[in-house]
Amino acid sequence: MATTSPDYDRLTELKKFDDSKLGIKGLLDSGITAIPRIFHHPPETLPTPNLNRPKLTIPIINLSDEKSTVVDQIKKSSSTLGFFQIVNHSIPVTVIDSVIGSMKEFFEQPNEYKMQFYHREAGKGAAYWTNFDLFMSKAASWRDTLQVNMSPMEPNWEAMPEMCREALAEWDKAAVVLVEELMSILCEGLGIKNERLKELTCFEGRVSVAQYYPPCPQPELTVGMTPHTDIGVLTMVVQNEVGGLLQVKCGDEWADVEAVPGAIVINVGDLLQMMSNDEYKSSEHRVLANPAEGARVSMATFFGPSNTDNVYGPFPELVSTTKPAVYREFMYEDYTRRFFTKELDGKTLTNFYKIDNTEK
């Protein structure tokens, strides 16, 4: 591959790209027909098409079904795949369409406008960038990002793209109502008090991340997002009609997350897997590079505790002599620091806090 040639200085190329503040959309607008070498992934890490195998998809759960049915279905999905889609939920389609549309409008603004939001200080208002792990990863991924920390401190709305403000505020308000319902159901599935996750402030540390996956001239050389698991308790994702790119690992295969109009994708994060003492599972997922003509746009809201000084570990109610603790207790601040100082790659943090019960 060209990335090994002696005249190629990867760090210099990364800095040049980041300093340009163009993002991937800006690169495309400049007329490129081949992707820069910083986006080339090693061939052995690239997805291979499942041409001769049955197509796998994740479950779709109807929240208007009987409560007991919904609890059972969400428990089953969270205990196995860790991913599911929900329909007939409390968030109007207009709210979903509005937040996706406003984010697409931002990413497709002229470069001069977007550049004022391009920085890597995630705690300061709206942060627009390409790959939060750009300088830590082996290869960059083909996507642009706009991140806004929604809670526990309210964002500075004046420091946010004006076309996104109203839609994002409306989305966040509706998402909190829905995630409170889902966390109650997840607690019921574990057989613990329904308010347990709420008491631990598990949806008060909210981060909304819009991802823009523009068409890729050479999708066979790169990815939209490398395989990874999510850091927090629960993630809620809405996406536009450009589907078939988000995939979840299911055993040795990858299941497609189809773009279902009005549906919301829910997935278990690493923290919930550890708090549930492995009853619920977080799964690796990835996004393929976009070969389509139109851009894929998604909005993910990550829910986690707002109290970063707390110690977390398996719920005591789920630990017994027959089911000992699978994980040791840890400081949440230590946990998040480890996540954000490594490449977005694979599932490693749950293993880091795992107890070796074979020694007991």
- For residue 267, give the nearest of 289, 253, 244, 250 by alpha carbon: 250
188 pLDDT higher than 90: yes
Higher local confidence (pLDDT), 120 or 211: 211
Q: Find the range with the poorest average confidence among 6-20, 180-194, 346-360.
A: 346-360
pLDDT tens across 161-171, in order? 999 999 999 99
pLDDT value at residue 215: 96
Residue 252 confidence (pLDDT): 85
- 0.85 exceeded by pTM: yes
* pLDDT score at 140: 96
pLDDT of 2 reads 41
- Checking if the pLDDT of 9 tops 50, the result is yes
Mean of pLDDT values over 253-282: 94
pLDDT band at 339 (very low <50, low <70, confident <90, very high): confident
Contact (CB, 8 A) for 272 and 75: no
Q: Is the pLDDT of residue 283 over 70?
A: yes
Average pLDDT over residues 55-59: 81
Q: Mean pLDDT over residues 214-220, rounded? A: 96
CA distance 220 to 160: 34
CATH homologous superfamily of 53-359? B-lactam Antibiotic, Isopenicillin N Synthase; Chain (2.60.120.330)
Q: How far, in Å, CA of 107 to CA of 113, rounded?
A: 10
